[in-house]
Amino acid sequence: MSLWLRRRLQLGRELRNNKFKARQSLIWQFDIIILIFLVVTAVIALRVKDLLGASMVFGIYSFLICLLWAEMGAVDVAFTEAAVGAGVSTVIMIATVFSTTRRSKD
C-alpha cells in the first residue's frame, strides 16, 4: 500500500472519529473593511448625477463583491462576478452612455 493511500485512509478515519476539525480562516477585519466600502460605493452610486460616473461606481461595487466572495471561499462565484459584473456589464453600461446623446443642452 502506498504512503499516499495510507495517509488518505488515516484522514478518513480521523474524520469519522470526529478528531479532525476543519479550520476555516476568515479574516474578519478584511470583511468589515470590504463591507464598509460596499456601503459607501452603493450610496455614491445612488447619489451621483452623471451616468458615466454611476456606471464606473457600479463596476467598483461589483469588484468589491467579487473580493468578498473570494474571501468567503466561493471562488467560482467570485470569478463569475468579476467576469460578468465587473467586466462585461460595466463595459456595456459605459458603451451605452457613450452611444446616447442628450436632448437638451443643459
> If you average pLDDT over residues 94-105, what whole number do you get?
80
Looking at 2-85, which runs of residues are DSSP E strands?
none
Domains of the chain, residue spans: 25-99
pTM to 2 decimal places: 0.68
Looking at per-residue pLDDT, the higher value among 28 and 102 belongs to 28
Give tens-digit pLDDT for 6-30: 777 776 766 666 544 444 446 778 8
| Burial group, residue 81, by CB count within 10 angstroms (0-12, 13-18, 19+) | buried
Question: Cell 484522514 belongs to which residue?
Answer: 11
25-71 pLDDT, tens digit per residue, is 467 788 889 999 999 999 999 999 888 898 999 999 999 999 988 88
> Given phi > 0 = left and psi -120 to 50 = alpha, else beta, which region is 18?
left
Residue 63's CB is within 10 A of a number of other CB atoms, namely: 18
- Give me 24's grid cell: 476555516
**For residue 82, what is the DSSP state?**
I
